[in-house]
């Protein structure tokens, strides 16, 4: 996994997933900075860009969301092709499958061919999640548990910052250490790679489980884009046709913005004498 700074980069393709607009917290400011420094001939939005589950319960649409959408629209108007592949949290967008809005296309799945001639099935992946497909109520319970873990992270990382430590993720730790979570991820990867093989593709690029990874353990190239709730990861295809997993490190502009927002929030909540 490579880390990128603020130098502008252009790629053949850029793959993003699991932004979850509407969920609190997310890393939208970081994503805006990332997109200002990264461009591509085609951008794949691989599902759960909007979190319809959360917005249906509590509307949350800050100004940063408008800025993010403006960036995508500006890129589309400049000629960047944008392919939207809805996920389970933005499944309402599946009503638009097969339609085009200028340079924006809505599809359920897509076969992307790299500069090296390798083909990849691009799909969100919830279609192969047994819980999502057959027990949606349980998926909502899992969503609640994930959001609870994010709240725990806020407190935990506030303490860690005061002690001089970096960011730590409870959910990421659980995915790596808890046996059941590791088993679920393994079954998900196996199902997606089998689908890619059945489609005659050399690999699969997906999202859904918020766990960025890239490997060929099953004989098919498995690529997961991660998320923009915690990990701030994306997948890019270079001009030479190589796929890379990119971790966006927080640039100074983002850190300053976050500190300013924090000061404004504290000021707003301070009672008058």
Q: Which of 5, 4, 87 is nearest to 44 (CA)?
A: 87
In this prediction, residue 227 has a pLDDT band, given cuts at 50, 70 and 90, of very high
In this prediction, residue 117 has a pLDDT band, given cuts at 50, 70 and 90, of very high
pLDDT tens for 118-169 read 999 999 999 887 544 444 433 444 554 555 555 556 555 556 667 776 665 5
Beta strands in the chain, from DSSP E residues, in sequence order: 2-4, 9-16, 38-45, 81-84, 100-101, 104-106, 110-113, 119-122, 203-206, 213-215, 221-224, 233-237, 243-248
Residue in this structure with the two tokens 């917005």, named with its chain if needed: 55
Q: What percent of the chain has pLDDT over 70?
A: 70
**pTM of the model as a whole:** 0.76
Is 10 within 8 Å of 40 (Cβ atoms)? yes
With 90 as the cut, is the pLDDT of residue 107 above it? yes
Is 20 within 8 Å of 48 (Cβ atoms)? yes
In this predicted structure, which of 19-28, 71-80, 87-96, 237-246 has the lowest mean pLDDT? 19-28
User: Domain segments of the chain: what residues?
Assistant: 2-261
Burial of residue 122, with CB atoms counted within 10 A of its CB: 0-12 exposed, 13-18 middle, 19 or more buried:
buried
pLDDT tens for 30-70 read 999 999 999 999 999 999 999 998 898 889 999 999 999 99
CATH code linked to domain 2-261: 3.60.21.10
Q: How far apart (Å, rounded) are the C-alpha atoms in residues 10 and 81? A: 14
Whole-number Cα distances in Å, 104 to 76, 78, 83, 205: 7, 12, 6, 19
């Amino acid at each position: 996994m490579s880390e990128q700074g603020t130098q502008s980069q252009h790629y053949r393709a850029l793959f993003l997933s699991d932004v979850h607009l509407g969920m609190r917290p997310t890393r939208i400011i970081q994503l805006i900075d990332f997109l200002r420094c990264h461009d591509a001939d085609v951008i794949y939005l691989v599902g759960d860009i909007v979190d319809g589950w959360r917005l249906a319960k509590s509307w949350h649409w800050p100004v940063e969301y408008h800025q993010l959408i403006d960036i995508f629209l500006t890129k589309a108007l400049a000629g960047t092709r944008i392919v939207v592949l809805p996920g389970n949290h933005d499944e309402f967008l599946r009503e638009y499958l097969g339609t085009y809005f200028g340079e924006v296309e809505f599809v359920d799945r897509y076969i992307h061919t790299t500069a090296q001639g390798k083909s990849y099935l691009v799909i969100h992946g919830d279609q192969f999640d047994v819980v999502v497909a057959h027990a949606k109520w349980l998926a909502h319970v899992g969503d609640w548990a994930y959001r609870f873990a994010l709240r725990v992270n806020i407190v935990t990382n506030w303490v860690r910052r005061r002690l001089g430590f970096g960011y730590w993720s409870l959910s990421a730790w659980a995915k790596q250490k808890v046996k059941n979570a590791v088993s679920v991820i393994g079954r998900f990867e196996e199902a997606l790679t089998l689908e890619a093989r059945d489609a005659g593709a050399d690999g699969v690029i997906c999202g859904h489980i918020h766990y960025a990874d890239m490997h060929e353990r099953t004989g098919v190239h498995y690529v997961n884009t991660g998320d923009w709730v915690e990990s701030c990861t994306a997948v890019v295809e270079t001009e030479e046709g190589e796929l890379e997993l990119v971790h966006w490190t927080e640039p100074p502009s983002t850190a300053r913005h976050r500190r300013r927002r924090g000061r404004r929030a504290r000021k707003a909540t301070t009672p008058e004498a």
